[in-house]
DNA sequence: ATCGGGATCTTCT
DNA sequence: GAAGATCCCGATC
């Protein structure tokens, strides 16, 4: 049987918006694909957050550091770091080379390779990639992917949308304390794979 | 269903 | 020395 996900078209860098907020909205409904060990893992992006220049919540707020150089790559590269010493977080750089802005991928709707993503038979489908730490684990994204070109020919890449996208809603970001009132979180309205409290997901 | 604490490491004060 | 773009588990309602 042919899977719809096999037809996923790689996005070209030229197609990506040049503005970080526009990028965060644009990525909703796009796909993330990782070909590992002969298997294809594919999922729809359903939730993102934007981290901007001058944003106190951003890792690039104080400029270049040892862990964040990938945030300063041209748009469309992966910035992966370890949160709380344990969980990998996947971001997509979103500006020009030398400008530290990125979009955090916060939740995915699994499309293909779901059994490989699941940690156990009992894990519920909605839980597989709900939250940035979980989705990185499910997609086998690690620190080794930091700096990867997501618009290139590599195994980890961004793909075009594979179906209709419901309206994109906005809220404040999750899990931060600085600049916490800015509305820079985007999600597909009504999608059950979105993370976070219900109170944030009404839009 | 919801709440709170612990794990664990890089970075900056 | 403290905080952090989180997750999981156990306790409690």
Which CATH architecture describes the domain A4-200? Roll (3.10)
- Protein residue with the closest CA to the C1' atom of nucleotide B6: A84
- In three state form, how does the secondary structure of chain A look? CCCHHHHCCECCHHHCCCCHHHHHHHHCCCEEEEEECCEEEEEEEEEEEEECCCCCCCCCCCCCCCCCHHHHCECCEEEEEEECCCEEEEEEECECCCCCCEEEEEEEEEEECHHHHCCCCCCCHHHCCECHHHHHHHCCCCHHHCCCECCCCCCEEEECCCCCCCCEEEECCCCCCCCCCCCCEEEECCCCCCCCCHHHCCC
Query: CA A98 to CA A17: how far, in whole Å?
Result: 17
Where do the domains of chain A lie?
4-200
**Considering chain A, what is the average pLDDT of its residues?**
92
* Nucleotide nearest A90, from its CA to each C1': C5
A87 touches strand C (CB under 7 A): yes
* Nucleotide nearest A89, from its CA to each C1': C5
State the pLDDT at residue A200: 86
Segment A117-137 shows an average pLDDT of 90
Q: Within its chain, how far is the Cα of A114 from the centroid?
A: 17
CB atoms within 10 A of CB A142: 13
- Protein residue with the closest CA to the C1' atom of nucleotide C7: A133
Q: Model confidence over A67-98: pLDDT tens digits?
A: 999 999 999 999 999 998 889 999 999 999 99
**Whether A184 contacts A169, CB under 8 Å:** no
A195 touches strand C (CB under 7 A): yes
Query: CA A36 to CA A104: how far, in whole Å?
Result: 22
| Strand B protein footprint, C-beta under 7 A | A 62-63, 65-67, 82, 84-86
A27 touches strand C (CB under 7 A): no
Q: How far apart are the first and last CA of chain A?
A: 37
For the CA of A52 and the C1' of C1, the distance in angstroms is 28
The percentage of residues in chain A with a pLDDT greater than 90, rounded to a whole number, is 80
pTM reported for the whole predicted model: 0.94
pLDDT confidence tier of residue A1, bands split at 50, 70 and 90: very low
For the CA of A43 and the C1' of C5, the distance in angstroms is 21
State the pLDDT at residue A139: 96
State the pLDDT at residue A85: 87
For the CA of A110 and the C1' of C3, the distance in angstroms is 33
């Amino acid at each position: 049987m042919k899977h719809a996900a096999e037809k996923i078209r790689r996005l070209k860098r030229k197609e990506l918006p040049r503005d970080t907020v526009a990028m965060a909205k644009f990525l909703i409904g796009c796909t993330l694909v990782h070909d590992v060990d002969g298997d294809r893992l594919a999922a729809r992006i359903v939730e993102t957050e934007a981290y901007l220049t001058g944003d106190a919540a951003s890792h690039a707020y104080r400029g270049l550091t040892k862990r964040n150089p990938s945030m300063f790559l041209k748009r469309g590269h992966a910035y992966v770091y370890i949160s709380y010493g344990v969980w990998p977080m996947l971001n997509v750089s979103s500006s020009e080379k030398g400008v530290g802005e990125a979009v955090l991928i916060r939740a995915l709707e699994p499309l293909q390779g779901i059994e490989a993503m699941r940690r156990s038979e009992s894990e519920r489908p909605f839980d597989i990639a709900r939250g940035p730490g979980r989705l990185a684990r499910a997609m086998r994204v690690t620190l080794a992917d930091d700096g990867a070109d997501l618009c290139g020919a590599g195994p980890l890449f961004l793909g075009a949308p594979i179906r209709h996208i419901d309206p994109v809603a906005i809220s404040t970001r999750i899990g931060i304390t600085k600049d916490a009132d800015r509305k820079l979180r985007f999600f597909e309205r009504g999608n059950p794979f979105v993370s976070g409290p219900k109170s944030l997901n009404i839009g």
